[in-house]
Structure 1
Amino acid sequence: MAKAKKEETGGGITAYSVKTKTKNVPMVDPVINVKSGRYIAVGKDADGNNMAAILGKGKAEEHINSGHAKKGEGWD
C-alpha cells in the first residue's frame, strides 16, 4: 500500500498519490480504520491505485457522520 500525505478539502477525503505524484486526489469509497489509536483512511483513486491518509479523530468522525467514509476495523 502506498504511503500518502493527508489533505482534506471540501467534502470527501483527498490524499497525495505517490504513484502519479499528484496532490489532493479524491479517494473513492474510503474506509477509516483505527489502529494503535490512529485513524487511517484507506481507499483507491479513480484509476484504482491504493491510497492512505492519516486523520485526526475529529476529522475521521466528521467524514463518517457526513457519509463520505465508512467505519472499518478497530472502532469500539
Structure 2
Amino acid sequence: MANESGITAYSVKTKTKNVPMIDPVIDVKSGRYIASGKDAAGNKMSAIMSKATAEGHISSGAAKKGTGWS
C-alpha cells in the first residue's frame, strides 16, 4: 500500500490500482486503521492498513492522525 510518495489505494471510480492519496488522514475505527483522502481528480478514497503501517506513515509525515487514536 505504501510507496515513497505516501499512501496509495485502489480507485473504485476509475478502476485503477496504486493511485496516490492526497492529504490522507488516518482514523481508528473499531480497531482498524483507515486512511481516507482524495485522488488528483478529487474522488474520495480509503485504504485499510495495519497499525505499524499507519504509524510509519504518520511518523514520516505522509499522513495526519484523525479520530480514535489513544
**TM tier, smaller:** over 0.9
User: What CA distance in whole angstroms lies between the structure 1 residues aligned with 2:4 and 2:20?
Assistant: 10
Aligned pairs for 1:25-36 within 5 A:
25-36=19-30
Percent identity, aligned pairs only, is 71
Letter paired with 1:61: E
Task: Write out the 4+ residue segments of structure 1 that deviate beyond 6 Å after TM superposition.
Answer: none
Letter paired with 2:31: G
Could you state the TM-score of these two structures normalised by the residue count of structure 1? 0.89
Give how far 1:8 is off. 2.0
SS at match of 2:35: strand
Letter paired with 1:29: D
User: What CA distance in whole angstroms lies between the structure 1 residues aligned with 2:57 and 2:3?
Assistant: 11
Structure with the larger strand share: 2
| Map of 2:31 onto structure 1 | 37
Q: 2:46 aligns with which of 37, 52, 60?
A: 52
Q: Is the 8 A contact 2:57 2:63 kept in 1?
A: yes
Structure 1 residues without counterparts, runs of 5 or longer: 1-6
Cα RMSD over matched residues? 0.7
The number of equivalent residue pairs is 70
